[in-house]
Chain A
Amino acid sequence: GAVVSQHPSRVICKSGTSVKIECRSLDFQATTMFWYRQFPKQSLMLMATSNEGSKATYEQGVEKDKFLINHASLTLSTLTVTSAHPEDSSFYICSARTPNGYTFGSGTRLTVV
């Protein structure tokens, strides 16, 4: 079935640095990728929607200059958290639309120290 590979699964970074999270569709072409964020004890919240070859659409309240999304090919979408701060520590997960619905990456646990 359709698989999205997300890396890294865990990352710890220092405050002020940038972190890139990758999501690759392994056996299908992901024209649309959704990026979610999950705060502790809360549900996943949509951050942005990326479409291959065009600018991402960000949800209200999400800083586009802080969370850079690139979807340069049909198999790769990246989320870069720039100048990370401790409040950015969270669980980030991507999801791609497939012919049969949606598939998720395995998630990235980001800890900013």
Chain B
Amino acid sequence: AQSVTQLDSHVSVSEGTPVLLRCNYSSSYSPSLFWYVQHPNKGLQLLLKYTSAATLVKGINGFEAEFKKSETSFHLTKPSAHMSDAAEYFCVGGGADGLTFGKGTHLIIQP
């Protein structure tokens, strides 16, 4: 069985400061891992995905995530937050049986 845990339900940062959204996974095999963003009343948008080609994955809008097997983590980061980054972020694990979603992290950007 696979599980994905997003450690923070809400994260608040000031505009221009770094963003860190934490995600831990458990899996009996090498997972596919994704970060999705969902803006209000919009569908999910893929930010980036890890599929074992490289441990540091660069995504859209300046986001990146590093797969750390020793820590079973796949944290999402961005050097400088922008107001448009305010949204709900989902860490997702992919396996043969489908997708396992984290509960989501609501990112708040303070002006």
A49 and B98 CA atoms in complex are apart in Å by: 8
Cβ < 8 Å to A, chain B residues 14-46? 32, 34, 36, 41-44, 46
Query: Who on chain A is nearest to B104 by CB?
Result: A43
The size class of the interface chain A forms with chain B is 20 to 34
A10 and B97 CA atoms in complex are apart in Å by: 28
The size class of the interface chain B forms with chain A is 10 to 19
- Does chain A have a CB within 8 A of B55? no
A93, A101, A106: most-surrounded residue (chain B CB, <10 A): A101
| Chain B interfacial positions (CB closer than 8 Å to A) | 32, 34, 36, 41-44, 46, 49, 51, 90, 94, 97-99, 101-104
Q: Name 27 interchain pairs, CB-CB below 8 A, sorted by A.
A: A34-B99, A36-B99, A36-B101, A43-B102, A43-B103, A43-B104, A44-B90, A44-B99, A44-B101, A45-B101, A46-B98, A49-B97, A49-B98, A93-B43, A95-B98, A100-B51, A101-B34, A101-B49, A102-B34, A102-B94, A102-B99, A104-B46, A105-B43, A106-B42, A107-B42, A107-B43, A107-B44
